Chains A and B, each alone.
Chain A
Amino acid sequence: MDSVIKTYDIAKVFNPGMPDQIKAVTDISIEIERGGITVLKGPSGSGKTSLLSLIGCMSRPTSGRIIVNGKDVAKLPERFLTGIRRSTFGFVFQHFNLISGISVIENIMLPLYPSDIKLSSIRKRVESIMENLGISGKKDFSVQRLSGGEQQRVAIARSLINEPEVILADEPTAHLDSKLSEDLKDIFVTLQKEGKTIIIATHDPIIHEGGFAGRVIEMRDGMVKEVTVE
């Protein structure tokens, strides 16, 4: 299998050695197939978000190794992780995490502000992504004025602006109804066809059932319980 990400016995412990120590992830070794859709499934508190965060270089493991495109990132300092995040990953957060008070188009352009790409070029790229996601009519709207589904699409557009190889989505359907959830699945399928690797953490059956994902990793108590390959 051509893997974009591999983990070897990774563990994440919050507040180690303290009375409130939490073992979020324990000895997880998995592989993520390049160009596939992988779903991390499990109940709340099973360690899905922590694993997603570790894979996406948003936090560092307490132990173990994480290989992203052949490079061990587990012990890299924060300044190098930022570069990897920017070049490899696009994030879709559970609560969208859009910046309120600025327009839709500005939110989507935000990841490219600290680059030397001209604003006009960024704008063109954003408009094309918005067109594909069906939100081009909302570009000057303030994000607070959008519906949940629209905000989710803006968040997806923002995750795509860097042209990342891997899209990480944390509970992307948590604030959507079933119709919008189905629409979101279609978007992910389209992105996969374009060559993106999709990793979704969810406990929503709409996403993890019905053969949508090529690989489903079931988690419980911070450990992998079962891996199903469709």
Chain B
Amino acid sequence: MEKHKKILEYAISSLLRRTYRNLAVIVVFSFMVAVLSSVLFLTHSFKVEALNVLSDAPELIVQRISGGRHDLIPADYMKKIKEIFGVGEVIPRFWGYYYDRMTDSNYTLMGIDKNMRGLELLDGRMPTDSGECAIGKGVSDVRSAGIGGKMYLINSRGRVIAFKVVGVFTSGSNILTNDLVLLTKDSVKTFFGMPSGMATDIIVEVNNDYEEPFVISKIKELLPDTRPIMKREIIRTYDTVFSWRSGMILIMFFGALTAFCILAWDKATGLSDGERQEIGILKAIGWETSDILELKFWEGIVISLTSFLSGLILAYVHVFFFGASVFSPVLKGWSVLFPQFRLMPYISLYQVFIILFFTVVPYVASTIIPSWRAAITEPDSVMRG
């Protein structure tokens, strides 16, 4: 133990002797880790956030498609769907998007029903009357509207409607907390001017999950202008989209990654005369080849772990404190989210391990291998100066 401690101390003092050179490597290395980690942190957080939004979403939603776009669905479709074998409850939903010019934010106005899962009231209650609303914590903060306050919204006929805030809720998902406004179903219908007998979409409960594909095909057969959407399909789509986008960035970054690997290899394989001489001296005064390798191992570990941790911290700050300002436009795509929200710091240990494996291990190896080549040669050359 004492031996390893002394070799580690010597490794650190060796690194400090070549401060500028090692600092340059640490800067480049940290930057590379920071970029890689930022992309992976960001996509992982988006995926987790999307999963949180969807975790309490219905397993099957039926929308009506008109001209290739989502349209209001006639409520009498519910009767036909209900008759399909294996279908449980069928519930209409009433919701719509609302752009709030005051706060430059996009809200989802939704009619409350008994299926509102995953929302936790922080204060007050859910709306029961047409002039009432409950809002997410984020909306409450942006609008500075608490219990007893008013939410002024402009309806489809251009009239300002005041809703009394009777409840403030939170959720496992930041997106829901920041964009959801709950009204009674009738309020939503009136506000958006929905014709009677129409809903935004329909929730379908299927008694047995395995029967979902069968129910979907029956719905499509009975009601050809509908689009049944399974929750797991949405999750898979999110997953694919974010993986594809992060993949695109990583491919673009591949050039920089290759450049770094070349730099690291060049730095490591190109032992300077001074370093070669030092290895010879150490061998001549009694260091074993294994001692030299341990020295170089510690040097590699100190450099690469310092860079790795710095890069990780940089990425964490970049993604979770500055909203990943460099990459988020590419990763979010055109669907910009309003209001702005801070991503919850979800980190996958598996991804951290992958970054560690693909950065620290090659660097340490590229440090040890050339030193090993120098260390196994006879130290005679040292005698000759």
Please determine whether A102 and B17 come into contact, CB atoms closer than 8 angstroms: yes
B-side interface residues, number (CB < 8 Å): 28
Please give, as numbers and ranges, the residues of chain B lying within 8 Å of A56 by CB-CB distance: 383
Q: Which positions 1-43 of chain B face chain A at CB distance < 8 Å?
A: 1-3, 6-7, 10, 13, 17
Please give, as numbers and ranges, the residues of chain A lying within 8 Å of B288 by CB-CB distance: 79, 82-83, 114
Question: Which A-B residue pairs are the 9 nearest by beta carbons?
Answer: A86-B286, A101-B17, A59-B380, A114-B291, A95-B385, A111-B285, A113-B6, A59-B378, A58-B380
Q: How far is the CA of A85 from the CA of B282 in the complex (A)?
A: 11
Please determine whether A113 and B385 come into contact, CB atoms closer than 8 angstroms: no
Per-position 1/0 for A109-120, Cβ under 8 A of B: 011011111110
Please give, as numbers and ranges, the residues of chain B lying within 8 Å of A170 by CB-CB distance: 383
16 interchain pairs, CB-CB under 8 A: A53-B380, A58-B378, A58-B380, A58-B383, A60-B378, A85-B285, A86-B285, A86-B286, A93-B382, A97-B284, A97-B385, A99-B278, A102-B17, A106-B13, A110-B10, A114-B3
| B308 smallest CB distance to A (angstroms) | 26
Residue of A nearest to B13 (CB): A102
Q: Does A188 contact B (CB under 8 A)?
A: no
A58-B380, A93-B385, A97-B382 known; A111+B2 contact, CB < 8 A: no
Please determine whether B2 and A117 come into contact, CB atoms closer than 8 angstroms: yes
Please determine whether A49 and B289 come into contact, CB atoms closer than 8 angstroms: no
Please give, as numbers and ranges, the residues of chain A lying within 8 Å of B278 by CB-CB distance: 99
Q: How far is the CA of A102 from the CA of B18 in the complex (A)?
A: 11
Q: How far is the CA of A110 from the CA of B283 in the complex (A)?
A: 11
Per-position 1/0 for A183-194, Cβ under 8 A of B: 000000000000
Q: How far is the CA of A110 from the CA of B6 in the complex (A)?
A: 9
Q: Residues of A with Cβ closer than 8 Å to B?
A: 49, 52-53, 56, 58-60, 78-79, 82-83, 85-86, 91, 93-95, 97, 99-102, 106, 110-111, 113-119, 158-159, 162, 170
A59-B378, A102-B17 known; A91+B285 contact, CB < 8 A: yes
User: Which of A94, A110, A114 is the one whose CB lies under 8 Å from B385?
Assistant: A94
Our count of residue pairs bridging A and B at CB distance below 8 angstroms stands at 88
Please determine whether B286 and A111 come into contact, CB atoms closer than 8 angstroms: yes
Q: Does B78 contact A (CB under 8 A)?
A: no
| B20 smallest CB distance to A (angstroms) | 13
Please give, as numbers and ranges, the residues of chain A lying within 8 Å of B287 by CB-CB distance: 82, 111, 113-114
Please determine whether B284 and A58 come into contact, CB atoms closer than 8 angstroms: yes
Given A59-B380, A83-B288, A114-B3, output 18 extra A-B contacts at Cβ < 8 Å. Answer: A53-B380, A59-B378, A78-B289, A79-B288, A79-B289, A93-B284, A93-B382, A97-B281, A97-B385, A99-B281, A106-B13, A111-B287, A113-B10, A114-B6, A114-B286, A114-B291, A119-B2, A162-B286
Q: Does B376 contact A (CB under 8 A)?
A: yes
Please determine whether B10 and A82 come into contact, CB atoms closer than 8 angstroms: no
Per-position 1/0 for B341-385, Cβ under 8 A of A: 000000000000000000000000000000000001011101111
Residue of A nearest to B378 (CB): A59
Most buried by A among B278, B288, B376: B288
Please determine whether B284 and A114 come into contact, CB atoms closer than 8 angstroms: no
Please determine whether B289 and A110 come into contact, CB atoms closer than 8 angstroms: no
Q: How far is the CA of A170 from the CA of B380 in the complex (A)?
A: 12
| A156 smallest CB distance to B (angstroms) | 13
A82-B287, A116-B3 known; A110+B382 contact, CB < 8 A: no
User: Which of B7, B284, B380, B384 is the one whose CB lies under 8 Å from A113?
Assistant: B7
Please give, as numbers and ranges, the residues of chain A lying within 8 Å of B6 by CB-CB distance: 113-114, 119
Please determine whether B3 and A91 come into contact, CB atoms closer than 8 angstroms: no
Q: How far is the CA of A93 from the CA of B282 in the complex (A)?
A: 13
| B275 smallest CB distance to A (angstroms) | 11
Q: Which positions 250-287 of chain B face chain A at CB distance < 8 Å?
A: 277-278, 281-287
Please give, as numbers and ranges, the residues of chain B lying within 8 Å of A119 by CB-CB distance: 2, 6
| B168 smallest CB distance to A (angstroms) | 62
Residue of A nearest to B282 (CB): A110
A58-B383, A114-B3 known; A78+B376 contact, CB < 8 A: yes
Please determine whether A85 and B7 come into contact, CB atoms closer than 8 angstroms: no
Q: How far is the CA of A162 from the CA of B286 in the complex (A)?
A: 9
A58-B379, A59-B378 known; A82+B385 contact, CB < 8 A: no
| A120 smallest CB distance to B (angstroms) | 10
Q: Which positions 125-156 of chain B face chain A at CB distance < 8 Å?
A: none
Please give, as numbers and ranges, the residues of chain A lying within 8 Å of B376 by CB-CB distance: 78
Residue of A nearest to B6 (CB): A113
